[in-house]
Amino acid sequence: MGAKPFTNPRGTRDLLGENLVLIKHLERTASMVAAVAGYQEVRTPLFEETRLFKRSLGEASDVVEKEMFSVPRRGSEGAEAMAKGFTFRPEGTASTARAYVQGGFAASAPLQKWFYIGPMFRYERPQKGRERQFNQFGVEAFGAQSASLDSEVVGIAVRFFQELGFDDQLEVRVNSMGDAEDREKWSQVLREFFAEQMQGSSERCADCQSRYTRNVFRLLDCKSTRCIELNEGAPNLFAVMGDAAASHHQQFIACLNNLGLKVIDDPSIVRGLDYYTRTVFEVHYPPLGARSALCGGGRYDGLVEEMGGRPTPGVGFSVGFTPTELALAELNLPAAADLADLRQQLLPQVYGVAVSDEQRDDLFILCEKLRRAGISVELDYRGKSLKAQFKEANRSGARWAIVLGDSENENKQIVLKNMQQKTEQIIAQDDLLAALKDA
Ligand code: HAM
């Protein structure tokens, strides 16, 4: 007996077969909805300097505090090595803002609309819909503060889910985090409001108590029933918001209404990352109950400057494939017809069968010729009997079998068998490609 077999790390998956069909469908749907809105694909590295994420997402965010996959920098020791180290990206916005600054776009072509699809890494407790490596589709638009750009981004998110088959129960829940100075004022009034709840034997959960000083907004999105009750009457940002942010929010909602989207004001949306300013939103599908949130995003007008660039506004969203897959399974989506072509790609078009071992080499050469012409071909490599090869041909789902026996081979012919209709004909090997292409 060898050693105990290795398994994949918790919170990761090996994707193949049917699972990969769905992922590929999500990928092409994402690329399509982004491309029609004029967004170009961007691919940034899977890891960045750790301090990039600390600076952009916020030291007090859950992601930075508890969920980073980090490695130390070689040549440094201890805390310094970690501080100067690298982290597998937990999300895509920070990297794209870094790439925007590094690419000098603010000077050359400030309006940039990008999308990305790829793996992100968060050291979370794996559970339904949450993994440690998961794919995200995201879009980020830099260089304009117009509320119509916020609505365009929301529209892409909604269209992604519509294309996957979600119906008109999709809703957009929106809020605003105001501008930097509004946030500052708001955090003060929130701290005053919650101060009493933090004293003595507080009924607030431990998370809220630790967030009170570090990121008081997060008390508003606590999911504990008692904390939700205690949030009743908490001051609203709109009471302290400046005119510019308030009018941006009104324009944003008007745009969404014009697009015919179902819009709901939701003051509990504060998002877990520090970079948000003004617009924040989530797309929900209420029939999914507690897991109705499908994606999230918002505006980050200070982020590019935070990354060392010129002041440049930005807005985007991202959606995790893992929760999307769960939602689709629950809703019996997407329609089988939408996946038919991808499923078909898993099947060979032709299966090559050698009547005896003497024909294997010539069969292989014939199969390679077909492959070079773009026809997918499978054949046996494990010395299976004729009967077992036919069994494999059936199991493979191939529409055609080509069968090479001694006499056909001598005459430069081959048997072409239609596996569904169970009909066959002998044709010249030179005509095989044309016959398959005709069929
Ligand atoms: P986020 O809300 O942290 O925002 O993540 C966006 C989406 O990623 C979530 O709605 C969820 O679908 C998915 N997700 C997050 N963590 C996990 C996990 N452990 N397993 C599976 N899926 C997960 C961001 O990442 C921002 N960058 C969004 C954004 C883009 N804001 C502006 N632009």
Structure tokens, 51 = 């301090």
Q: Distance between CA atoms of 314 and 152, rounded to whole angstroms?
A: 12
The Å distance, Cα 428 to ligand 1 centre, comes to 57
For residues 278 and 178, the answer to whether their CB atoms sit within 8 Å is yes
- Is 344 within 8 Å of 38 (Cβ atoms)? no
- The whole-number average pLDDT for the span 330-347 is 96
**Is 165 in contact with 334 (CB distance < 8 Å)?**
yes
**Other beta carbons less than 10 A from residue 368's beta carbon:** 13
pLDDT number for residue 158: 98
CA 233 vs CA 190, 220, 230, 263, 307: distances in Å: 11, 11, 8, 23, 36
Determine the atom of ligand 1 nearest the C-alpha atom of 132: 19
Q: What is the Å distance from ligand 1's center to 26 Cα?
A: 16
β pairing state of 350-354 and 377-379 = parallel
CA distance 178 to 241: 6
Could you tell me what percent of the chain has a pLDDT over 70? 100
Q: Which CATH class is domain 18-337?
A: alpha beta
Residue 1 CB burial class (10 angstroms; 0-12, 13-18, ≥19): exposed
Segment among 7-16, 205-214, 421-430 with least mean pLDDT: 205-214
pLDDT, tens digit (0-9, with 9 covering 90-100), for 361-390: 999 999 999 999 999 999 999 999 999 999
The pLDDT score that the predictor gives to residue 214 is 87
Whether pLDDT at 1 is above 80: no
Pair 145, 163: CB distance under 8 Å? no
pLDDT at 88 over 80: yes
Average pLDDT over residues 242-260: 97
pTM: 0.94
Per-residue H/E/C for 339-361: HHHHHHHCCCCEEEEECCHHHHH
The stretch 193-215 carries a mean pLDDT of: 88
Spatial distance between the Cα atoms of 123 and 135, rounded to a whole number of angstroms: 14
User: Does residue 202 register a pLDDT over 90?
Assistant: no
Residue 200 has pLDDT above 80, yes or no: no
Q: How far is the CA of 232 from the centre of ligand 1 (A)?
A: 27
More confident residue, 202 or 355: 355
The yes-or-no verdict on residue 201 having pLDDT over 80 is: no
Per-residue pLDDT averaged across 197-226, rounded?
88
Give the pLDDT of residue 203: 87
Which atom of ligand 1 lies closest to the CA of 91? 25
Whether the per-residue pLDDT at 403 is higher than 80: the answer is yes
**274 C-beta closer than 6 A to ligand 1:** no
Per-residue pLDDT at 439 exceeds 90: no
Per the prediction, the chain carries an average pLDDT of 96
- Beta-strand ranges (E) seen in 53-183 are 69-71, 86-88, 112-121, 133-142, 171-176
Between 210 and 425, the more confident residue is: 425
Mean pLDDT for 96-124 is: 98
What is the separation of C-alpha 222 from the centre of its chain, rounded to a whole number of angstroms? 25
Q: Say how far apart CA 424 and CA 417 lie, in whole Å.
A: 4
- Give the pLDDT confidence of 275-315 residue by residue, as tens digits: 999 999 999 999 999 999 999 999 999 999 999 999 999 99
The segment(s) of the chain belonging to CATH 3.30.930.10 are 18-337
Distance CA(276)–CA(61), nearest Å, equals 12
Q: Which atom of ligand 1 is nearest to the CA of 271?
A: 2
Residue type, 10: R
| CATH 3.40.50.800 residue spans of the chain | 348-438
The answer to whether the CB of 59 falls within 8 A of the CB of 306 is: no
Structure tokens at 62: 């859950």
Closest by CA position to 291, among listed 265, 329, 317, 257: 329
CATH of 348-438, one of 3.40.50.300, 2.60.200.20, 3.40.50.800, 3.30.70.890: 3.40.50.800
**Residue 131 Cβ contacting ligand 1 at under 6 Å:** yes
* Predicted local distance difference test score (pLDDT) of residue 119: 98
